[in-house]
Each structure stands twice: as C-alpha cells, then as structure tokens.
Structure 1
Amino acid sequence: MFRNLVLQGNLLDTKNLSQRIVFVFWYIFCLVVCVVYSAKLTAVLAIPVYEKPIDSLEDLPNAVRNGFTPSVIGDTINEYMFKDAVDGIMKQTWRLFNHKDRSKSFVDSTSTGMRLVLQEKSVHIGPCTAKIIAVEMGEYKFHVGRGLFYPKPVGFVYPQGAPYLRPFNKVIRRLVAAGIVNKWYDVEIRKIPRKHNEENEVSSSSAISLTHLQAAFFLMFIGYLAAAMALLAERAHWALFRNERVSEK
C-alpha cells in the first residue's frame, strides 16, 4: 500500500469484493494526495515571495524587529518632529531609531539615507525629494511607501509680522486643495531621466520560470533514460535466459 502512495506500480490480486472497494478508495486517496502535493510544490516554485513592504510609520515596528533601521536627516525638522512628539506614532517611531550609533539613523542628507538603503537593511524617512532622488538613482531599486506623515504638504518662511502672511496662506491653501502642488511635483519627476534595469537582474523574490528549472528537467530525462536502459537490459537478459533454457531442453 505504501508503493501506491508514492505512485509506484503494484499488483494486488484479490478476489474479495470488500478488499477491492478499500483498494479503490485507497488509490483515489493516493492520487489526490500526490496531485495536491505536486500542485503545492509548483505554486511554491512559481509564485514569487515578496517581503512585506513598509508603507507607513505603523509598519516600522515590525520592520525593526526584522532587522531594519529607520533613518532621517539629523538636526533638521525631520528629526525634531519625532523627537519633540509627546505621544502617538511619532513618539513610538522616535524610540525605534538607533540612538547608540547616530550615524545609522541620523544622516546628513537624503542622498546619504538613500544610499544607506542600498547598502544595508535601512528604511529612510524623508520628504518628497526622496522620491526624486530614488528616480535619479534608479527607481527599480527602491520601494517608495504610500503613507504620508508630514503635517503640511508645502510651506514657506516669512519675516515675523509680515502683512502678506494671511493672503499668502490663503493662496497656498487653494493651490494645495486644487492639487496644483502635486501636479508641479509630478511634472518635475517626469523631467528626470529614469534609469532602467538594463542588466535584467533577477532578485531573490522573482518568480521561478522554466529557465530556472532546466536542471530539474535534465535530471528527470536522465532518470527516464536510465530506467529505459535498465528495462531493455532486463528484457535482453530474460530473452537470453529463456533461449538457454530452451536449448537445454
């Protein structure tokens, strides 16, 4: 019965009807198990395994537990917006930074933080210019999170007590609400010449195709060839042995 489970030929000669019924259902069970196993194995090989992306600050705790280190531009608003937070997700994120080695979590520029992402397991938290730098360095190398955490999408600095502060704020709010600022941002990104993966690098998360399985098919062909040669040798030996017995008689 074990030979049936591994799809090996097995002749069971029985005339009992009850045993035949048991064997029929056992054969069906073995067939289903083997088909399910083969389908599962094919799915595991064909479906790429992607790492869970980090799209928001809420995803950072799990990322840190998996060995990632968050980074921001040090001694700027990017650092102090987390450092001065009283509670909430901002304060939780501040505790995730590497305070023992500031060079790992507090970089001098967005470009340095982006290069750190390529060199080790790091997550850079930066302004919208990070997307522009990612396009310049090769957008295919990065995963840009969808979550936004900056309190304001755009801002300008005015002298204290400026009489045009309120009119300017009103106009800026209208520009932001109308989506014109995002339009300008998208236009500037389109102007950047994009770098493509010309080397056709295959990452560890890419799907396995028939090209990658050529070695397995070669081994299977060699196994079938060896089995055919063994079968021919057995047939030749049996024929020779039968001729010898006939000649002796």
Structure 2
Amino acid sequence: MGDVEFGRANFSLGLVMMHERANLLDPTTMYFMDAVTFITAKSPPSVPWQKLITPFQLKVWVCMVVSVCGGVLLYHVFYHIQTTISSSHLLDSDAFMQILASFLSQSLCQYLWLSAGRVFLGFWFLYAFLVTTHYKTSLTSNLAVPFIPPPLDTLEQLLGSNLKYGVDEAKGAEYQLLSTSRIPLYQRLWRNVQFYNDESSRRMVVEGTYSYIHYRSSLDLQMLIHNSNPMRKTDLHVATEMFFPIVTVWYLPKGAPYLKNFNAVIRRCVEAGLINKWLYDLYAVYVNDYQDQKPSQEQEDTATGKNPRLVVFTLNHLQGAFFLFFLGHGCGLLLLLLELLLAPHTSST
C-alpha cells in the first residue's frame, strides 16, 4: 500500500476493499467476493463404554427402572394372592430376578395360574421384547457407526464451547471487524480473541483445541488439503454461518490513467469465469503438493491389507461389556466378603 501511495509501485495485487484505503488510493472493480467464518475440528466420538447407556435417553431409563419396580411388585402381589389358595411361595428376590430375566429373553421358573396374573405376564413379556429389541438394535448401530456430536456452525455456539479461538496475527479484515465493531456479539468475541500465524492456527485446529476465524476461501482450501484422500472423511468442519462479507480489488495511485483499462480486463476475466477457474486450479496445486509430501491413508491400508469400509470390533468397541463384567465380579466379591464378615453374627443370633 505504501509503495503504491508514494509512487514506488504502479499497482497492488489482491487486497480487501476498505474505506480507509479508498481515501488514499483508487480501487479497481471487484473480482472476488469472500466472507469471514471459522473452522473447527469435529467433536470426537463418544466414549465406547458410554454406548451402553446412550441408546436410551435418561427419561427412558427412569421409566424402565420404574416399570421394573412396578412389575416386580405386581408379580409378587399375584403370587402372594396365590399363596392364599395354594401352597406355592415366592421370595422377593426370586420375583425380582424372574422379572429382570424377562429382559434377557429368559423364561420364568414359576408361572402364575391366575387369569389376572397371566394377562399381566403376557403384556409384560411383550413390553420386555419391544424394549430389548429397540435397545439391541440401537446398541448394534452405535457400536458399528460411532456417534459424533454436531459441529459448531454459529458464533453463539463457538462462544458457548470450551474452544479457544483467534485470528491471523497479520490483523487483516477480521481483526478490524472484531476490534472496532459495536455489535455485542462481536464485542464478546473480541474479549478472548488470540493471535497466531496462519500455520500455527491451522495446526491447532487439526489438534482439536482451537477455532480459526479467517476467510472462507482459505478455510475451504484447508478442508481440501485435510480431506485429500476420497476414502477418508475429514475431521474438520467449516461453519455454515458467514459474516463480514469482503471484496477483493487491486489498488492504483489516485488518478491513475490506466484504471479504466484495468477495470475492463478484470470484468472480462470475471464474466468469462476465469477467476473461479484459476482459483480451483490453485486449489488443485496445493492439494497435489500435499499428497506428494504425505502418503494417503488409502495407500497405507492397501499395503497393510486393511479394508477401510470394514468395521472390525476391537476391545475399544467392547470395553463396555468388559466394564460390566468386571463391575459384576467386583460387586459379587464385595458382597461375599460382607457375608463372610456378618456370618458369625447372624449365626449367633
């Protein structure tokens, strides 16, 4: 800008059009329009052991616990009524285990011969079948395809997250917007904004600890580079909300006689679609350079005999099952120790 203003250069290359600059230099007609947005890393999948409870919401789990308690109570009441007619008895613990066993597709050891009890058990078995079927199918899909929380798409969501965020340390148009705006949302954003160079910002975004506020076209290029292998899904996400639209121009000295010729050539390039073509060609160059520097995951999988489309369950997928296994054994051993400690006192009494 200074070289053009003081006559050391005849014109500048692409710069964002601003009123302050237009007071000193003459801008050409615009040839590219962009906007500011932000890029983040997608949220990681949920912890595998939590998949045991994620198929149902908390309200559903509460309703199931209440239904089991109610089922055990009614089952015990029906058997208690039968005891007044016959000699069969049912312990409270047996009633609980038999009702719970129906959720695991186990048959009852004792059946009610009262008509009311049979009606109750018939509907109870149907209820248990439907609930367990929904749970098993949802659990299977959660194990095969991990659930990924929705990405951030608005500035409000970004402010409500625990991510750090910032702009390029060169302090361009996005810096001017946040530092001078009187809009409350931008003022809240400005309080905690950080400044890093472009390379450091992109690296922290990939690490999942940072959100980079920058031009949409530049962030789209980052997406292409990170997702250069078509067999992989990118772990990055560009927000859908765009703000502070900007236009790119060249700047010439005030009163430059060749401004009209520059504008004519730029308009012809825009109308012919050359600007977009050159932009896509430039993207392809960056992506090809990145692929040459880093082998693709698809080539690595082919060399090792892996199939990226095949989901093979590992201990990471089934950690919830082993978690229940060890929890059950631990609770059983703890209760055994308590019974051994309490056995002398109970026998003496």
- Please state which band the TM-score falls in when normalised by the shorter chain: 0.5 to 0.7
Q: 2:203 aligns with which of 96, 115, 124?
A: 115
The aligned residue for residue 227 of structure 1 is: none
C-alpha change, 1:14 and 1:137, in structure 2 (3 Å) is closer
C-alpha change, 1:119 and 1:10, in structure 2 (3 Å) is closer
Q: 2:126 aligns with which of 14, 24, 28?
A: 28
Give CA-to-partner distance per residue, 1:163-195, whole Å, 9 cap, x none. 343553465356446543222111111122244
The aligned residue for residue 168 of structure 2 is: 73
Give the letter for the 1:83 counterpart: S
Give CA-to-partner distance per residue, 1:12-57, whole Å, 9 cap, x none. 34444443333222221121121122123223323322243344xx
Q: 2:274 aligns with which of 160, 180, 186?
A: 180
The aligned residue for residue 313 of structure 2 is: 211
Whether the 8 Å CA contact 1:69–1:98 is kept in 2: the answer is no
Unaligned runs of 5+ in 1: 201-206, 224-249
How many equivalent pairs are there? 204
Cα shift at 1:116: 2.8
Whether the 8 Å CA contact 1:111–1:133 is kept in 2: the answer is no
Does 2:195 correspond to 1:106? yes
C-alpha change, 1:9 and 1:49, in structure 2 (3 Å) is same
Whether the 8 Å CA contact 1:61–1:96 is kept in 2: the answer is no
Whether the 8 Å CA contact 1:68–1:123 is kept in 2: the answer is yes
Higher relative contact order (CA 8 A, sep 6+): 2
Structure 2 length-normalised TM: 0.47
Does 2:106 correspond to 1:8? yes
The aligned residue for residue 142 of structure 1 is: 236
Cα shift at 1:113: 1.8
C-alpha change, 1:77 and 1:4, in structure 2 (3 Å) is closer
Give CA-to-partner distance per residue, 1:46-105, whole Å, 9 cap, x none. 3322243344xxx12212321112211233333113323343xxx623531455xx6xx1
SS at match of 1:154: strand
Whether the 8 Å CA contact 2:163–2:209 is kept in 1: the answer is yes
Separation of aligned partners in 2, 1:6 and 1:174:
73
The aligned residue for residue 44 of structure 1 is: 142
Cα shift at 1:153: 4.4
Give the letter for the 2:138 counterpart: K
Q: 1:124 aligns with which of 212, 215, 231?
A: 212
Of Structure 1 and Structure 2, which has the larger fraction of its residues in strand? 2
Point out the more displaced range, 32-41 or 142-151.
Answer: 142-151
What RMSD over aligned residues (CA atoms) do the two structures have, in Å? 3.8
Whether the 8 Å CA contact 2:178–2:189 is kept in 1: the answer is no
The aligned residue for residue 22 of structure 2 is: none
Unaligned runs of 5+ in 2: 1-97, 229-233, 302-308, 326-349
Identity %: 23
Give the letter for the 2:168 counterpart: I
Whether the 8 Å CA contact 1:45–1:208 is kept in 2: the answer is no
SS at match of 1:9: coil
Give the letter for the 2:127 counterpart: F
Give the letter for the 1:212 counterpart: T
Separation of aligned partners in 2, 1:147 and 1:176:
26
Whether the 8 Å CA contact 2:144–2:311 is kept in 1: the answer is yes
Does 2:246 correspond to 1:152? yes
The aligned residue for residue 189 of structure 1 is: 283
SS at match of 1:8: coil
Q: 1:92 aligns with which of 164, 167, 185?
A: 185
